[in-house]
Structure 1
Amino acid sequence: MGDIAGSHTPSPQPDLNRNRLPSLFEVLSRRTLPPVDLYSFYIYMRDQQRSVDYLDFWLDVAQHMTLCRHYVRELRRSVLVVTPDGEKVASKRSSAMLENIGDMTHPVAGPSKYQTDKENNQDAQMSQFLREDLHPQDSPVSDVSAAHRNPDLTGGPRNISESSSPAHTVARQDIRASAEKILYTFLLPGAEREIILPNNITSDITTAIEEYGRDDPEVFDLAKDYVFQAMERDAFPGFLRMKALGNLIPPTLILRLIIGMISMFGAFWTAFVLIFLDESRRSRLYLIIPFTFGVYFLASFQYTLDPVLALLGFSEYTPFDFSRVREPFVRRLLVKRALVVLAITALVDAALLLLFILVPGRRL
């Protein structure tokens, strides 16, 4: 499904002038850049939340919507372009419905609250058309689409170019297979990647697909909105804290905590040894090395941020795998936090160093 619906849909352009953190819908609709892009959120849902099935369900439903739009757009083009006098081939009602739907140029599928009234109306009309076209083999509109896919059947034009048309024509069977795949993969009890939804939502979808043969996008609307709200409430705030306010992931943070504690233990042990051996203050200056390591790594753990990496513009995706920070607002935010963390590190480091340098030595 992704090969048909995803690769030929125009990608939304990221908003480089956004002076705020992105919303979940902007991330899901690919309008953001690393480290708050969809790829980063997918890794977060997989590795941290352990609930990537919910995100995959959302993405599959969004792909299903795009697939339906391609199918209806192809039918509409067939009626209006291949056979301008559409009533000779298609029923008046079907032809009128296709014409009234419009071009459906909006490429992003999402909750209704993020769409305009026009987009919601077009999607509702598209679903209504698909419900009335449940048997494509008997539908005169589908005969037009078949003729468009094989111009030899009608003697019509062999080459019709339109930027909004997918490279591969979508068949109604593809839509049906897509809807069933979502049902059998995510929603049925005991499914391979079953997600937990309210029973009434799951049963309504199952009934609509299996008993009434529906495959229009509205079948999944309640489930899609429920999953979106769950991710927005339970997962997305943690994702922003990790990726927009920090640049490290939990496994690395634990490692830094261990290194920091060991460094601080070594620093304090060495400091007391030097004091009780009555070593010179110049010799104690070397304490700056373990204290700096200890304070730096503990500060990185506390703020989930490596300040040096932040100033260089890098963020961690998987353990020791770093990528450039390309979202402008996040880059500025991380730089500011990095400077604060470096200032705190320097102050604490200096205070500890002065304390153990100025303490009088006493040989035991």
Structure 2
Amino acid sequence: MPILTGDQELEQRNRLPTLMEVLGRRTLAPVDLFSFYIYMRDQQRSVDYLDFWLDVSQHMSLCRHYVRELRRSMLVETPDMEKATSKRSSALLENFGESLGEAESHPSSNEKRSSEQRLSAFLRHQHKDSSGTNQSPAHSMTSQHSNMNFSRPSHEPKPSPHSEGPTRPSFMGSDQPQTDSNSPGHTVARQDIKASAEKILYTFILPGSEREIVLPQSMLNRIIHSIEEEGRDDPEVFDDAKDYVFQAMERDAFPGFLQAKALGNLVPLSVLIRLIIGLASLMAGFWGGFFMILRSIPRHTRCWLILPFTIGCYFLVSYQYKIDVVAAYLGFSEYTFMSWARIREPFVRKLLLTRAMMASLMFVAAAVALSVLFIFVPGADF
């Protein structure tokens, strides 16, 4: 089966994206990861769950990078005699290296899951063999225990006054692990992996932590025991919690996100403002219309009523459909109040154009009906 490129996948995906596609950065605005992050932060007020999922994913990337570097150093720098003393580790490392390329070329297939299990098995085996001593690639043996440098991507939003608590830097901007390691070339060391696992534990898992997420008690105890008692740092420690958080987001948050971004192009504050403006304009139109009818104002003067009726109908239809018709035709979507981004997802653009056409018909029909009614109705002294 041929492998599709990113552009080909977008053209052939004649449907709304799945949550895994959004989290895997295989979608474009307004249903991309950046928009989902803003939605979770400003509307769902549960961005901690998304940050946890992203941090665990980055922990997996960190482990992959570490094992890849370890395999490279073992093949290039380790003497044959030294290789022979750890045949089992070498075999595990070789098997993981062979499967890594397949998993990365098929990100949605079973090869990825199998590769992750092999990676975790290798890290557990290495931890047991080391008996408490952290191993790292041959050219990273001097790497000291370091704090992770979690940098915010340039396009990530700043904390909003409407958000719950501070917005912690996440791994949205890059798939490559970043460390403060002093080793040459900033190579990932085993200490970095341990620090990453502990950071996730102390930030999200432990009761009373900075950004504690709600997990089943049995799952919580199992993670704490694995890291603090067994000293594990392999990605499999967080697998159950990652799946639990993913299912919670898919069930509770993602449908609302698609409805807000794929069926509309306005944020809630804009929708509310349009309701207020629309009602005020219609009230002004009705008041002016009845006044002109009772005073028998000539019809050519009553034509001014077209203005408030047009504004009122436009904004009320925008409120009803949660879509700005003009912006939809121009291909823009609002991701924060009065901040617009171009719609780049092909199917979403077609969907919004269809809804904009429906909204246009309703807006024109309502505005014309009200204008004709109040302009051509006879005056009170007829």
Q: TM over 0.5: same fold? A: yes
Contact kept in structure 2, 1:136 and 1:172, CA below 8 Å = no
Decide which of 115, 122, 136 is 2:115's aligned counterpart. 122
Distance 1:335 1:275, change over 3 A: same
Alignment of 1:55-134 (within 5 A): 55-83=50-78, 85=80, 87-88=82-83, 91-103=86-98, 104-105=100-101, 106-107=103-104, 115-134=108-127
Instruction: Give the match for residue 233 of structure 1.
Output: 251
Instruction: Give the match for residue 269 of structure 1.
Output: 287
The answer on 1:16 being equivalent to 2:10 is yes
The answer on 1:255 being equivalent to 2:273 is yes
SS at match of 1:16: helix
What are the ranges of 5 or more consecutive residues in structure 2 without an aligned counterpart? Answer: 143-175, 179-184
Contact kept in structure 1, 2:279 and 2:316, CA below 8 Å = yes
Instruction: Give the match for residue 3 of structure 1.
Output: none
Instruction: Give the match for residue 27 of structure 2.
Output: 32
SS at match of 2:209: coil
Instruction: Give the match for residue 50 of structure 1.
Output: 45
Partner Cα separation in structure 1 for residue 338 and residue 81 of structure 2: 60
Instruction: Give the match for residue 340 of structure 1.
Output: 358
Contact kept in structure 2, 1:91 and 1:141, CA below 8 Å = no
Decide which of 236, 243, 258 is 1:218's aligned counterpart. 236
Once the two structures are superposed, residues 5-60 of structure 1 have per-residue CA deviations (whole angstroms, 9 ceiling, x without a partner) of xxxxxxx9463212111100010011111110000000000000000000000000
Distance 1:147 1:282, change over 3 A: closer
Q: TM-score, normalised by structure 1?
A: 0.86
SS at match of 1:193: coil
Decide which of 347, 362, 372 is 1:354's aligned counterpart. 372
Instruction: Give the match for residue 148 of structure 2.
Output: none
SS at match of 1:323: strand
The alpha-carbon deviation at position 136 of structure 1 amounts to 8.1
The alpha-carbon deviation at position 245 of structure 1 amounts to 0.6
The answer on 1:325 being equivalent to 2:353 is no
Instruction: Give the match for residue 145 of structure 2.
Output: none
What are the ranges of 5 or more consecutive residues in structure 1 without an aligned counterpart? Answer: 1-11, 151-163
Contact kept in structure 2, 1:41 and 1:239, CA below 8 Å = yes
Give the aligned residue type for 1:16: L
The alpha-carbon deviation at position 359 of structure 1 amounts to 1.3
The alpha-carbon deviation at position 77 of structure 1 amounts to 1.4
The alpha-carbon deviation at position 118 of structure 1 amounts to 2.2
Distance 1:355 1:327, change over 3 A: same
The alpha-carbon deviation at position 100 of structure 1 amounts to 1.1
* Identical-pair percentage: 58
Once the two structures are superposed, residues 268-294 of structure 1 have per-residue CA deviations (whole angstroms, 9 ceiling, x without a partner) of 000000100101122111111000000
Partner Cα separation in structure 1 for residue 226 and residue 63 of structure 2: 17
Distance 1:127 1:275, change over 3 A: same
* Aligned residue pairs, count: 335
Q: Which runs of 4+ in 1 moved over 6 A?
A: 135-141
